[in-house]
Amino acid sequence: MTRVQQIGVAIGLAIVAMLTILRADDPGIFKLIRGVTFDEYQRLVPRTFEPMPVRVIDIDEASLREFGQWPWPRDRMALLVDRLSAMGASAIAFDILFAEPDRLSPRNVVSEVAGVDPSLAEKLPDNDEIFARSIAEKPVVLGFGLSNEGHYRPPVKAGFAFTGESPVSAPPYLGASTPLRPQLEANAAGLGHISLNPGNPSPVVRAVPLFLTDGEQLYPNLAIEALRVAQGASTYVLSGAPDRAGIMTSAKIGDFVVPLTAVGELWLYVSPDRAERYISARQVLAAEGASPEVAAAVNGSIVFVGTSAAGLQDIRVTALGENVPGVSLHAQAVEQILSGHFLSRPDWADGLEILVIAVLGCLLVVVTTFVSPAVALICGLLATAMALLASWLSFLYAGLLFDPLAPIVSGSIIHFAATSFKILVIDRERRAVRRAFGHYLSPSLLHRIEHTRDALRLGGDDRELTVMFVDVRNFTEISERLAPTDVVAFLNTLLDALSRHVVANEGTLDKFIGDSIMAFWNAPIDVADHQTKAVRAALAMRETLAELNAGDAFGFGPGQEVGIGIGIHTGLACVGNMGAKTRFNYSAVGDAVNVAARLESCCKEVGFDILISDSTARSVRGMALIEAGAIPLKGKSSRTQILAVVGDERVAGSAEFSALVVTHQQLMQALFAHSKNTRKLIGAAKLRAAGVIDGLAEFYQRLSGRTDHFREPNDRFENSAAD
């Protein structure tokens, strides 16, 4: 394992540890996401609505229109109980609070009228007493609510038996409740709390606490109390953990066993809201009596009395996203118990999800660090698919609720972090390799290799190139008087300084051949005006060398200057990858390369440092160029017209150079005509050249020995002369 891989694994494992600890802490956002996930499962496969002996007597808008606004007088509630009981309801549960005296009771109304004899009020009926007599000896369950004031707790109408350790401390805490009217509380067959999600800020009701506790006594909710009363059962049998107090696992209510969460909640597995579940209260209270259909629906059913009227504000949101009356959720809880279709989130689910995050995270760190990104991505996608599939199948076939998103999100974060680190490392290494190869290849060639799929295949293309050769003058003499290490230092200093101008002018450095540089333009990418850019690079090399000599950069001492020769030619060449399949160079071959090399060699004979061919000169505009004759080159059947590069556009526009050009043209004509005036003109040209550039003095000095170079360029010449 490399050092970088060790760092990557360490960082990845640290992220795994943080995410594992975060999941163990289980912040609110995790709970919210988990709840939304389970909601989506129910929306995909809701509990099927089945006809059950459970009905909701709905105090709906139609009932309020017929019998008046809420609250109704309790003698009407007594009539409702009498009729439901007569129809054969197995239990009648009120999702309504009866905490205050009935203000519509005749006794209460008269007692508030000034001047009425109190004894008369005592003779009038009391609706609370009527309602209390009505529910006596009937299977009526009244609801109580939670209160933030006082210390009142209702009596418990059922007994409790436990298996395992005591679960009394497991459910949500009941601090106080709303007191019921004493006679109603005493005569009711059962009492149950009506709170659906106490202490839960979510508007969606996903789980209902079947019990509350004050630390010593358990209090059932309205739904299971109605189920108990309907069966005539007297005791709840609660199962706790075998070795730990304060945990619930299940509750036995008569003949039904209900799986619970550790805090005594029932996960609601809801069905779509259906009209068949509801019976309007006005149908039961109709003056002519209830219809046979209503009587048949109530007979043998557990009946919940509540309201769907919007003004009474008892509307809740289910996991299916439906807005339903709160009373219907009590009814659905009983339906779910009767159907046996439960959802369960085992106590060990949290531990399993934490373990999955830790194990999956460690595996992803290892995979992402040691294999390719593509394989790591496939592994991550497979892990995601497996987590989703396992969670979905557990819900579909076993009703088990396992959170797939926490492991998936954590795994995605881990994979992203590990991949990002790897990419950063790869990018750093790539930049290091690019810098290293930048010493050998031009940026354009590196760009081509990086972005062209077949850039590293063997072969080449024919294209027009401008080729440059640069060579150090008297290198053999220099190397003889230097130690080998000093020779290397000298070459590194010189070639580094000169080669920068090739790259700066969009050229490609082909190779260093001892003390020589080969470069070319217009490959691997097209370079506009490549002839001029090559000439500019040559002029920049001349200036750089002058600065190096002036500053004694080579340490040779005063007067020991280094010279170079530069040859430039434009022509057709084959450029591409050349060599073996396992090792090759990007280079150029062809006649254009040979001509450029020969031109560089001619610099010694011509006595000037920069020579270009006429094919290059034809495309160069504005530079200070002068004719240098037609030179026979080895391997060429005709002479090659060459020109000396005196300077750039600034030099070309100077008066001194203009005067030199006039004298130089006269000299060229004299040489061509073999005039006796040649020597005089050479002297005049040397004088003119002194005001332009120092290097031209030697150029003109050697003209008298090169008169044969100023014959017609296309004349044939002897092979011996070419040699």
pLDDT tens track for 404-425: 888 888 888 887 887 777 777 7
Distance CA 446, CA 449 (A): 5
List, in sequence order, every beta strand (DSSP E) within 493-635. 508-513, 516-521, 564-579, 584-589, 610-613, 624-631
Residue 457's contacts (CB-CB under 8 Å, 6 or more residues apart) are 577
Q: Report how far residue 267's alpha carbon sits from residue 231's, in angstroms, rounded to the nearest whole number.
A: 22
- Residue 437 pLDDT: 58
Cβ 412 vs Cβ 380: under 8 Å? yes
Task: Give the pLDDT of residue 438.
Answer: 60
Give the pLDDT score at 718.
36
How many Å apart are CA 653 and CA 65, to the nearest integer? 106
3-state secondary structure 177-243: ECCCCHHHHHHCCEEEECCCCCCCCCCECCEEECEEECCCCEEEEHHHHHHHHHHCCCEEEEEECCC
Question: How far, in Å, CA of 88 to CA of 144, rounded?
Answer: 25
Please state, as a whole number, how many other Cβ atoms lie within 10 Å of the Cβ of residue 85.
18
Mean of pLDDT values over 653-676: 91
Q: Look at 33 and 159; give whichever has higher pLDDT.
A: 159
Helix axes 405-437, 349-370, angle to 10 degrees: 10
Q: Which of 264, 298, 266, 254 is nearest to 280 (CA)?
A: 298
Provide the 3-class DSSP secondary structure of residue 519: strand
Cα–Cα–Cα angle for 411, 416, 418, nearest 5°?
95
Angle between helices 127-135 and 74-87 (to 10 degrees): 20
DSSP H/E element including 33: helix 28-44
Share of the chain above pLDDT 70, in %: 91
Average pLDDT, the chain: 87
Q: For 272-331, give the DSSP string.
A: ---GGGEEEHHHHS-TT---HHHHHHHTT-EEEEEE--GGG--EEE-TTS-EEEHHHHHH
Tokens 């799929």 locate to 453
Backbone angles phi, psi at 546, to 5 degrees: -60, -40
For 188-208, b where at least 16 C-beta lie within 10 A, e where not — what string? bbbbbbbbbbeebeeebbbbb
pLDDT at 722 over 50: no
CB 399 within 8 A of CB 411: no
Could you report the per-residue pLDDT of 525-556, keeping only the tens digit for each?
888 999 999 999 999 999 999 999 999 999 88
DSSP-assigned letter for residue 576: E
- Paired tokens of 548: 């190096």
Q: Which two tokens stand for residue 367?
A: 């995979």
pLDDT band at residue 441 using 50, 70 and 90 as cut-offs: low
Q: What are phi and psi of 88, to 5 degrees?
A: 100, 25
127-141, 551-565, 600-614: the lowest-pLDDT one = 551-565
Most confident region among 107-116, 576-585, 708-717 by mean pLDDT: 576-585
pLDDT of 446: 64
Minimum mean pLDDT among 441-450, 487-496, 688-697: which range?
441-450
Residue 91: name the closest of 235, 281, 297, 302 by CA. 302
pLDDT of residue 177: 92
User: pLDDT tens digits for 565-579?
Assistant: 999 999 999 988 777
Pairing of strands 190-193, 140-144: parallel
- The token pair at 457 is 């295949």
Query: Which residue's structure tokens are 């006005």?
Result: 282
Query: Quick check: helix, strand or coil at residue 160?
Result: strand
The average pLDDT across 572-600 equals: 85
500 class by beta-carbon count within 10 Å (0-12 exposed, 13-18 middle, 19+ buried): middle
Mean pLDDT of 98-126: 73
Nearest to residue 641, comparing CAs of 666, 606, 673, 674? 606
Amino acid letter for position 408: I
Give the confidence band of 121 by pLDDT, cuts at 50, 70, 90. low
The predicted pLDDT at position 118 comes to: 63
User: Under a CB-based contact definition with an 8 Å cutoff, are residues 589 and 603 in contact?
Assistant: no
Contact by Cβ (8 Å): 522, 463: yes
3-class SS string, 84-133: HHHHCCCEEEECCCCCCCCCCCHHHHHHCCCCCCHHHHHHCCCHHHHHHH
Structure confidence at residue 717 (pLDDT): 32
Mean pLDDT, to the nearest integer, of 37-51?
92
* The pairing of beta strand 459-472 with beta strand 564-579: antiparallel
The mean pLDDT of 618-623, rounded to a whole number, is 92
Convert the pLDDT of each residue in 315-325 to its tens digit.
Answer: 899 999 999 99
**Cα distances (angstroms) measured from residue 133 to each of 89, 121, 186, 188, 708:** 18, 20, 11, 10, 142
Torsion angle, CA of 394/399/401/404, rounded to 10 degrees? 30
Angle of the 349-370 helix axis to the 373-398 helix axis, nearest 10? 160
Dihedrals φ, ψ of 64, to 5°?
-65, -35
